[in-house]
Amino acid sequence: MIKVSIITVCYNSEKTIEETILSVKSQSYYPIEYIVIDGASKDNTLSIVEKYRDTIDVLVSEKDAGIYDAMNKGIEKATGEVIGFLNADDLFAHPDAIKKIVDVFESSNAEAVYGDLVYFSRKNRHDKIVRYFKSSRFKQGDFAKGWCPPHPTFYVRKSVYERLGGFNLKLEMGNDVELMMRFLEKEKIKSFYIPEVLVKMRMGGVSNQSLKNIWVQNRHILQAAKDLHIPIPLLPFVFHKLLNRASQYLARFGV
């Protein structure tokens, strides 16, 4: 059976980390290796995490250079054949999420598997969906159209990370998009799309907190594309990004 390494990166996450851990614990699939990388939290995050040491296989608590540095540490620690991330304030959509992902890896030659994601209110109203991130099957050239899979659903074989590397720490934002663009668009790894919601994500991530942050993130993505020698015209990219985001808000109404 395929062992799956799930990595949670956290820092001062006392309000949400327990739900995330319980979400991992609720998964029907086995074997799962659960890795928690804490950035030396100053609140009660670690005391909450310690309550679930029977669920957590690897726990690291030390200062890091940011979320993607911590994610790279998690990748280095992982011993599973497949690696994925569940952020410290995110949840799996249902207990069979990992099983569905593994079923695809076992029945195909996929090197990456991803699905859909929904955003919910930060007030812990899991049933109040405010945005539906519906993805699609990847086609070459999609990133130039503002397309991108939701990273919290993006599961990749460890061999791909060993071959192509982890997150590019030279970027200030958009590191997850750069990684997926590098893997899918440039290196052309084989991917498979599961057309259903796999992860629930709280609104309010760093890259989504303001129009300024959204602009800065997209600027970094465009620079990353240039560095990867992937041509992305500015105006069509921005137009499609805005269109995609608008469609995600409308999708919650079934539009």
Return the pLDDT at 160. 99
Place of tokens 């074997």: 31
165, 155 in Cβ contact below 8 A?
A: no
How confident is residue 211, by pLDDT bands cut at 50, 70 and 90? low
Return the pLDDT at 206. 47
| Cα–Cα separations (whole angstroms), residue 187 to 11, 92, 99, 223 | 32, 28, 27, 18
Average pLDDT of the chain to the nearest whole number: 89
- pLDDT tops 70 at residue 122: no
Which of 83-87, 122-126, 146-150 shows the lowest mean pLDDT across its residues?
122-126
pLDDT digit string, tens, across residues 139-193: 999 998 888 999 999 999 999 999 999 999 998 888 999 999 999 999 999 999 9
Strands 191-202 and 82-85: what pairing?
A: unpaired
pLDDT digit string, tens, across residues 216-247: 777 778 888 888 988 876 656 665 565 566 56
CA angle 97, 98, 99 (to 5 degrees): 90
Query: For the whole model, what pTM was predicted?
Result: 0.89
What CATH code is assigned to 4-250? 3.90.550.10
How many whole angstroms separate alpha carbon 228 and alpha carbon 214? 21
